Amino acid sequence: MKKLKILSIFILSLAIVIGLVYSRQCDDKCKQGYPYSSCNGNLNLYRGLGYDGNGNVIFSGKYNSSQGNGEFGLPSIFSVPSSGGCQLTKRFDIFGEILDGPGYTAFDYFYKYLPQLNRYYVRFNQRGSPIFSIYNQETNVIEPVFNIFNTPFVPAFSKANDSNAYFAYGGYGIYGLNKYPTDRSDAQQAKLLYQSQIVNGLEIDGDDMYMTTYQGQFLKGSLNCSNCTKDQLQLLVTDSELASANSISGFVLTSDYMYFSYSGGIKGYPKNGDSSRVRKLVAENVVAMTTDSGAGDFIFYQTDSGVVKSVSTTGNHPQVTILYTPVSDNQCQCAVGFKGDDCKQCDNGMILWDSNGIPMCTPLNALGKPKTCYAAYQCGSTPFIICNGTCSCLPGFSGNDCTLCGNGGEIVWNQGYPSCATH
Local confidence pLDDT in tens for the 423 residues of the chain: 444 334 333 333 333 333 333 333 575 767 788 999 999 999 999 999 999 999 999 999 999 998 867 999 999 999 999 999 889 999 999 999 999 999 999 999 999 999 999 999 999 999 999 999 999 999 999 999 999 999 999 999 998 665 689 999 999 999 999 999 999 999 999 999 999 999 999 999 999 999 999 999 999 999 999 999 999 999 999 999 998 887 899 999 999 999 999 999 999 999 999 999 999 999 999 999 999 977 789 999 999 999 999 999 998 899 999 999 999 998 999 999 999 989 999 999 999 999 999 999 999 998 899 999 999 999 998 899 999 999 999 999 999 889 999 877 899 999 989 999 986
Residues 348 and 367: beta-carbon distance below 8 Å: no
Write the DSSP assignment of 89-138 as a string of letters. Answer: EEEEE----B-SSTT-EEEEEEEEEETTTTEEEEEEEETTEEEEEEEETT
CA distances from 369 to 76, 221, 374 (A): 27, 53, 12
Q: Per DSSP, what are the bridge partners of residue 416?
A: none
Neighbours of 165 (CB within 10 A): 16
Write the DSSP assignment of 356-379 as a string of letters. Answer: TS-EEEEEB-TTS-BSS-SSGGGG
d(CA 204, CA 120): 19
Within 13 Å and on the Cβ side, how many CA atoms surround 40?
20
Reply yes or no: is the peptide bond before residue 35 cis, omega within 30 of 0: yes
Q: What local confidence, expressed as pLDDT, does residue 361 receive? A: 98
Residues 190 and 176: beta-carbon distance below 8 Å: yes
Q: Give the residue from 238, 249, 245, 248 showing the smallest Cα distance to 216.
A: 238
d(CA 171, CA 154): 7
SS3 state at 67:
coil
Q: Where are the alpha helices (DSSP H) in 169-258?
A: 186-189, 240-244
Neighbours of 62 (CB within 10 A): 21
SS3 state at 392:
strand
Neighbours of 90 (CB within 10 A): 12
Q: What local confidence, expressed as pLDDT, does residue 32 receive? A: 83
Residues 45 and 80: beta-carbon distance below 8 Å: no
> Which burial class, exposed, middle or buried, applies to 128 when counting CB atoms under 10 A from its CB (0-12, 13-18, 19+)?
exposed
Q: What local confidence, expressed as pLDDT, does residue 244 receive? A: 85
Q: What local confidence, expressed as pLDDT, does residue 66 receive? A: 86
d(CA 247, CA 261): 9
d(CA 385, CA 277): 64
Q: Per DSSP, what are the bridge partners of residue 155?
A: 169
Q: Per DSSP, what are the bridge partners of residue 324?
A: 308
Residue 25: its H or E element: helix 2-30
SS3 state at 49:
coil
Q: What local confidence, expressed as pLDDT, does residue 10 receive? A: 38
d(CA 254, CA 247): 21
b/e 375-387 (16+ beta carbons within 10 angstroms → b): ebebbbeeebbbb
d(CA 77, CA 106): 14
Q: What local confidence, expressed as pLDDT, does residue 27 receive? A: 58
SS3 state at 190:
coil
Helix, strand, coil percentages, rounded to 5, for the chain: 10, 45, 45
CA distances from 300 to 117, 162, 306 (A): 21, 21, 13
